Structure 1
Amino acid sequence: MKQLSIYVHVPFCVRKCLYCDFLSFSPEGSIVTDYFEALNKEISQSADNYRDYEIKSVFFGGGTPSFVDSKLVCGCLDSIRACFNVCDDAEISLEVNPASAIFRKLSDYRAAGFNRISIGAQSLNDSELKAIGRAHDSRAFYDTFENARKAGFDNINVDVMSALPGQSLESYLETLRKVISLRPSHISAYSLIIEEGTPFYDMDLDLPGEETDRLMYHETKNLLQQHRYHRYEISNYALGKEHECYHNKVYWTRGNYLGFGIGAASMVENVRWSNLRSIDEYIQKIDNLSEIRENTEPLDIKSQMEEFMFLGLRLVEGVSISEFKRQFDKDIFGVYGDVISKYTEMGLLKLDRGYLHLTDQGLDVSNTVMADFLL
Structure 2
Amino acid sequence: MGRGILMTEKIKPEKPSSFESSVGNSSIEQIGLSLYLHIPFCKTKCSYCDFNTYQGIEDLIPAFVNALCLDIQRWLTSLQNPKINTIFFGGGTPSLLDSHSIGKILKTIQKYSYLSDDIEITLESNPDDLHLEKCQELFDSGINRLSIGVQSLKDNLLTTLSRRHNSSTAISAISNAQNSGFNNISVDLMYGLPGQTIQDWDETLSQILATNIQHISMYSLTIEEGTPFYSMYAKGVISLPPDDIVADMYQIAQSHLINNGFEHYEISNWAKNHNYSRHNLAYWQRKPYIGLGPGAHSNIGNARFWAIKSPKKYVQESLLHGTGTSNHAQHAINEKFLSDHNLIDGFEILTKEQISSELMFLGLRLLNGINTREYHKIFGIDLKSIYKSQLKTLVESQLIENSESQIKLSPSKIFVSNGIFEEFL
Please give the alpha-carbon distance, in whole angstroms, between the structure 1 residues aligned to 2:184 and 2:148: 11
| 1:154 correspondence with 2:205 | no
Please give the alpha-carbon distance, in whole angstroms, between the structure 2 residues aligned to 1:160 and 1:6: 24
Which stretch of structure 1 is more off in the superposition, 326-335 or 10-19?
Answer: 326-335
Please give the alpha-carbon distance, in whole angstroms, between the structure 1 residues aligned to 2:188 and 2:247: 19
Please give the alpha-carbon distance, in whole angstroms, between the structure 2 residues aligned to 1:69 and 1:63: 15
Which stretch of structure 1 is more off in the superposition, 103-112 or 178-187?
Answer: 103-112
Counterpart residue identity of residue 162, structure 2: G
Helix, strand or coil: the match of 2:424?
coil
Helix, strand or coil: the match of 1:370?
helix
Please list the CA deviations of residues 239-259 of structure 1 after superposition, one character each: whole Å capped at 9, or x if unmatched.
022x01100000000001011
Task: Give 1:92's aligned residue.
Answer: 121
| 1:164 correspondence with 2:193 | yes
Which stretch of structure 1 is more off in the superposition, 26-35 or 296-305?
Answer: 26-35
Which stretch of structure 1 is more off in the superposition, 19-28 or 9-18?
Answer: 19-28
Please give the alpha-carbon distance, in whole angstroms, between the structure 2 residues aligned to 1:185 and 1:117: 10
| 1:279 correspondence with 2:311 | yes
Q: Which structure is higher in RCO with an 8 Å CA cutoff and minimum separation 6?
A: 2
| 1:219 correspondence with 2:270 | no
Q: CA deviation at 1:353?
A: 6.0
Percentage of identical aligned residues: 36
RMSD of aligned residue pairs (Cα, Å): 1.4
1:181 to 191, 199, 210: 210
Counterpart residue identity of residue 157, structure 2: E
| 1:129 correspondence with 2:134 | no
Task: Give 1:336's aligned residue.
Answer: 387
Please give the alpha-carbon distance, in whole angstroms, between the structure 1 residues aligned to 2:381 and 2:70: 42
After superposition, where does 1:216-295 map in structure 2 within 5 Å? 216-241=249-274, 243-286=275-318, 287-288=320-321, 290-295=341-346
Q: Is the 8 A contact 2:42 2:53 kept in 1?
A: yes
Please give the alpha-carbon distance, in whole angstroms, between the structure 1 residues aligned to 2:58 and 2:302: 39
Task: Give 1:57's aligned residue.
Answer: 86
Q: CA deviation at 1:206?
A: 3.2
Q: How many residues align?
A: 373
Q: Is the 8 A contact 1:12 1:68 kept in 2?
A: no
Runs of 4+ in 1 over 3 A off after TM superposition: 327-331
Task: Give 2:221's aligned residue.
Answer: 192
Helix, strand or coil: the match of 2:391?
helix
Task: Give 1:36's aligned residue.
Answer: 65
Compared CA separation, residues 328 and 153, structure 1 to 2 (3 A): closer
Helix, strand or coil: the match of 1:205?
coil
Q: Is the 8 A contact 1:78 1:112 kept in 2?
A: no
1:298 to 349, 367, 389: 349
Task: Give 1:140's aligned residue.
Answer: 169
Q: CA deviation at 1:332?
A: 2.5
Please give the alpha-carbon distance, in whole angstroms, between the structure 2 residues aligned to 1:369 and 1:157: 28
Please give the alpha-carbon distance, in whole angstroms, between the structure 1 residues aligned to 2:224 and 2:249: 20
Helix, strand or coil: the match of 1:159?
strand
Task: Give 1:354's aligned residue.
Answer: 405
| 1:118 correspondence with 2:147 | yes
2:132 to 61, 86, 103: 103
Q: Is the 8 A contact 2:76 2:82 kept in 1?
A: no
| 1:206 correspondence with 2:239 | yes
Helix, strand or coil: the match of 1:87?
strand
Task: Give 2:39's aligned residue.
Answer: 10
Q: CA deviation at 1:309?
A: 0.3
State the TM-score, normalizing by the size of structure 1.
Answer: 0.96
Task: Give 1:82's aligned residue.
Answer: 111
Counterpart residue identity of residue 320, structure 1: N
Counterpart residue identity of residue 33, structure 1: P
Q: CA deviation at 1:324?
A: 3.3
Q: CA deviation at 1:34?
A: 1.2
Counterpart residue identity of residue 296, structure 2: A
Counterpart residue identity of residue 47, structure 1: L
